[in-house]
Amino acid sequence: MSNIQVSLNKTKKEIESVGITDNIALSDDEESIVIIDQVKIPNSLEYKKITDLQSAYQAIKKLEVRGAPAIGIFAGYTMYMLARRNKDLSYEDFLARFKADKEYLNSSRPTAVNLSWALNRMEKVVTENREEGVSAIVEKLKEEAFAIHNEDIEMCLKICEYGLSLLKDGDGVLTHCNAGPLATSYGTAQGPFLLAKARGMNIRVFADETRPLLQGARLTSFELSRAGVDVTLICDNMASIVMKNGWINACFVGCDRIAANGDVANKIGTSGVAILAKHYGIPVYSLGPTSTVDMNCPDGDHIKIELRDPDEIRTMWYEKPMAPAGVKCYNPSFDVTDHSLLSGIVTEKGIIYPPFDVNLKKLFNEDH
């Protein structure tokens, strides 16, 4: 066993000691996928079984499962679950059904690249093993789904270590949205806080509530407070004052897609955090696996931004409407943070620094 594997095993146990790390799993009978229903948090921690394509689509669309890496893991298991039920079809019919299911699931959320990345990986298994027969392909799809999950665990553990190397005891860190174990396997942007806690470091986290769906309030503050991390919840429009007060030493955010030039798509409001941080001289780091990097996307202008239901702004969280009936609403789920506002991109392969276009290309060229 290599030294890095020994180190990662230690990291894994440390994060497991403080964090929720069983958010997605294939059921024992392989007829369903078991997820933590993130919509129910923080009022309850409930598990839900996903049994078919429609419920899988809705689970992603309704944010019962969310976070770019978690969606990728979920997609892998979903395609295997569905493929098992079609194993008696001819290869041609199996492939046609697989592609139709894939395209439908991929339409659930267009911005997060991990969804299409995982689905394309699963499809590659189908197309490259045609001569082996459908039954053998189904078994290989199972192996691939578990590989996607296990690779994410390893990537997260490395990202947590690299991310923690940027912090020192007593630092204050602002984070936006949720990129902990609920959104991944072991955490990206929030993972270092859990690892710090397990190692006895005192990191003070300020979590934006992240309107309009309140992922920071409902999920991040839930995960961190449950782990015993010193977390303070703030409204999104309070980020500037906590920076001005000198309470923030760094900003850690996740990512749903990274363009080839280093532009980062993340939860709506991230770009505003980065602009404020630039004003106050605070470094901003985006943390995510290299599967989130889309080298075929030249820049943020080419990232499709998901628009969501206006009622998430008008009525969702209150018994009575929060705004006049019928008022126009603009509700993008993500925004793009320009690469010029980032201090670094933390991946499982290390910390990428500017110039991002050069260093991201170098990173992927080294892999081939």
CB 305 within 8 A of CB 335: yes
Token digits of residue 287: 């943390």
Q: What is the pLDDT of residue 248?
A: 98
Q: What is the pLDDT of residue 270?
A: 98
Residue 157, SS3?
Answer: helix
Average pLDDT of the segment spanning 264-284: 98
pLDDT tens string 134-156: 999 999 999 999 999 999 999 99
Supply the DSSP string of 85-105, one letter for each residue: TTTTS-HHHHHHHHHHHHHHH
Side-chain-side CA neighbours of residue 286 (13 Å): 32
Q: CA angle at residue 187 from 184 to 193, to 5 degrees? A: 160
Listed in sequence order, the residues at least 6 apart from 223 whose beta carbon sits closer than 8 Å to its beta carbon are: 19, 20, 178, 180, 181, 182, 190, 194
Residue 160, SS3?
Answer: helix
Residue 368 has pLDDT above 60, yes or no: no
Residue 142, SS3?
Answer: helix
Average pLDDT of the segment spanning 343-359: 97
Parallel, antiparallel or unpaired: strands 33-36 and 47-50: antiparallel
Parallel, antiparallel or unpaired: strands 293-294 and 257-259: parallel
Model confidence at 5, pLDDT cuts 50, 70, 90, reads low
Phi then psi for residue 20, to 5 deg, are -80, 120
What is the Cα–Cα distance from 346 to 189, expressed in whole angstroms? Answer: 9
Model confidence at 112, pLDDT cuts 50, 70, 90, reads confident
Q: What is the pLDDT of residue 7?
A: 81
Q: What is the pLDDT of residue 333?
A: 96
Model confidence at 111, pLDDT cuts 50, 70, 90, reads confident
Q: What is the pLDDT of residue 113?
A: 86
- Which residues are paired to 267 by β-bridges? 334
Pick from 146-155, 268-277, 316-325: least confident: 316-325
Q: What is the pLDDT of residue 4?
A: 56
Average pLDDT of the segment spanning 256-279: 98
Supply the DSSP string of 287-329, one letter for each residue: E--GGGEETT--SGGGSPPPB--THHHHTTTSSS-SS-TT---
Share of the chain above pLDDT 70, in %: 98
Q: What is the mean pLDDT of the chain?
A: 95
Q: What is the pLDDT of residue 1?
A: 36
Residue 3 has pLDDT above 70, yes or no: no
Domains of the chain, first to last? 3-157 (1.20.120.420), 171-366 (3.40.50.10470)
What is the Cα–Cα distance from 69 to 38, expressed in whole angstroms? Answer: 15
Residue 258 has pLDDT above 50, yes or no: yes
pLDDT tens string 171-216: 999 999 999 999 999 999 999 999 999 999 999 999 999 999 999 9
pLDDT tens string 22-54: 899 999 999 999 999 999 999 999 999 999 999
Q: What is the pLDDT of residue 318?
A: 77
Q: What is the pLDDT of residue 255?
A: 96
CA distances (Å), origin 197, targets 17, 85, 120, 178, 232: 10, 44, 37, 17, 15
Q: What is the pLDDT of residue 288?
A: 96
- Which residues are paired to 335 by β-bridges? 266
CB 332 within 8 A of CB 305: yes
CA dihedral 231, 236, 238, 239 (to 10 degrees): 70
The DSSP 8-state label assigned to residue 30 in this structure reads S
What is the Cα–Cα distance from 15 to 195, expressed in whole angstroms? Answer: 6
CA distances (Å), origin 180, targets 99, 188, 333: 31, 6, 18
Would you name the residues annotated as active-site residues? 256
Q: What is the pLDDT of residue 69?
A: 93
Average pLDDT of the segment spanning 109-138: 94
Q: What is the pLDDT of residue 321?
A: 86
pTM: 0.93
Residue 10 has pLDDT above 60, yes or no: yes
Supply the DSSP string of 183-221, one letter for each residue: TSSS-SSSHHHHHHHHTT---EEEEE--TTTTHIIIIIH
Model confidence at 6, pLDDT cuts 50, 70, 90, reads low
Token digits of residue 47: 């598990």
